[in-house]
Amino acid sequence: MMAQTGQGQPFDVLIVGGGPVGLSLGIALRRFVPGMTVGLLDRRTLEVPKDSRASAIAAGVRHLFEAIGVWDGMVDAANPIAEMKITDSGAGDISRPVFLDFSGPRGAGEPFAHMVPNTASAASLIASAQDRVSIIEPGSVSAFSAGPASGQIILEDGRSLSAGLVVAADGGKSMLRGLAGIKTFSHDYRQSGLVTTISHAEPHHDVAYEHFRPAGPFASLPLAGNRSSLVWTEKPETAQALVAMSPDALAQRIEAGLGSVLGAVEIAEPVQSFPLSLVLAHRLAAPRLALVGDAAHVIHPLAGQGLNLGLRDAAVLAEVLVDAARLGEDLGSMAVVERYERRRRTDTALMALATDGLNRLFSNDVAPIRAIRDFGLSLVDRIDPLKDAFMTRAAGASGAKLLKGLAL
């Protein structure tokens, strides 16, 4: 492992946050510019989390993982999503007619996403980063300042670190974002997300189901074997009651919510609940600082695009920095970080608007609105080019070389 625990020479790039986005960025930079000095600071010891959840990895992000050499370490645990069926139901509805049926874009020859357990992705990313990146752990940021030649971080234990560019990959409550004075727009959805893993009697055939219901979306996403990841949106008070249920009672509720398409259900992992909100940083760049992942944006999980959006940040920032390094530019200059911001602003805004709008459109039981949206879903389902455009967008295999599987 490359490790650094105290003060030393300035890094070219210092990444704060050891989640998938920060790790992927660090690996990419070192893979394509081996001489670049890259540090990664995390407030905890970097290790595989005890996390029973799984994440939907879009095709473009899988290409990124392949390009930086980490996909082989997680592919055995991954399960493809070959098809997604979308339904719309009101309170008390028994039937759940499928209004929209997505499969991968015709001619692509690949699934538009894979479900990957978080433990598998973390293990592969951490193993690769330890061979390439200087790990500083644990350490919590207490101050940040931007100078003419470098950004400086002061840790709570008094250590100082500096780098030409500091990257905030430290989550939705980013300390660095606040210290840099970057304001955010935020909105509380007054919803809670429930996440668990279920086992079921019937095979899923690599099909994901997204049921839109008045309280919010209810999705099952296929894992290896007769298992699925469940992401369930509810009102906070309902979510609390569901978490308090016995596993058998909750399994019956889930089976009913799925319309029994997967047969008898059992709860395979403890249920986790978390509040849902929208958070968008006003800027993605500041002197000596770039924001990526949840530090830049937190969106509604209904489309499973939050992590993918952050990893697209990493792909674009890596490309910008690799190009700048080869040209001998100052990596933390406003010219470089604003180049990154320009390339990410539109994608971020469009995804935030799309997930917010879909949640508002579908999280109600007003009959006229239901009739209009169901007509719209059915119309899209009959227009193949439009369906392909939606799935190509969801696959996220454009906008950066790494998302196409190309080397930098």
- Considering the domain architecture, whether residues 104 and 127 belong to the same structural domain is answered as no
Report if residue 394 sits inside a domain: yes
CATH number for the domain harbouring residue 339: 3.50.50.60
Q: Are residues 67 and 90 in the same domain?
A: no
Residue 371 lies in a domain: no
Which of 25-29, 140-144, 357-361 is predicted with the least confidence, judged by mean pLDDT? Answer: 357-361
Residue 19 lies in a domain: yes
Confidence check: pLDDT of 375 > 80 = no
Q: Tell whether 4 is covered by a domain.
A: no
- The answer on 217 and 286 residing in a single domain is no
Same domain, 162 and 302: yes
Radius of gyration of the chain (CA): 22
**Residue recorded with tokens 């200059």:** 333
Q: Beta strands 184-200 and 265-267: pairing type?
A: antiparallel
Indicate whether 177 and 121 sit together in one domain: yes
Q: Which domain holds residue 266?
A: 79-108+187-276
* Segment 32-42 mean pLDDT: 97
Asked if the structure places residue 365 within a domain, the reply is: no
Residue 286 lies in a domain: yes
Do 283 and 157 lie in a common domain? Answer: yes
- Looking from the CA of 179 toward its CB, the CA atoms found within 13 Å total 24
Which residue, of 276, 301, 328, is where some domain finishes? Answer: 276
pLDDT confidence of residue 100: 64
| Residue that finishes a domain, picked among 228, 252, 276 | 276
DSSP characters over 161-203: EEEEEEEE-S-TT-HHHHHTT--EEEEEEEEEEEEEEEEESS-
Write down the mean pLDDT value for the chain.
87
Shared-domain flag, residues 25 and 174: yes
| Structural domain includes residue 179 | yes
Residues 284 and 389 in one domain: yes
Boundary (domain end) residue, out of 276, 295, 320 = 276
pLDDT over 90, % of the chain: 68
Residue 232 burial (C-beta neighbours within 10 Å; 0-12, 13-18, 19+): buried
pLDDT 10s digits, 311-355: 999 999 999 999 999 999 999 999 999 999 999 999 899 888 888
Residues 23 and 146 in one domain: yes
Mean pLDDT of 262-287: 94
User: CB count, 10 Å around CB of 66?
Assistant: 14
Per the structure, how many domains does the chain have?
2
Pair 321, 327: CB distance under 8 Å = no
20 with 57, same domain: the answer is yes
Same domain, 156 and 91: no
pLDDT in tens, 69-84: 999 999 999 999 988 8
Domain contains 252 = yes
Q: Are residues 302 and 193 in the same domain?
A: no
Contact call for residues 128 and 24 (beta carbons, < 8 A): no
207: domain CATH number is 3.30.9.10
What separation in angstroms does the CA of 345 have from each of 85, 303, 407?
30, 19, 23
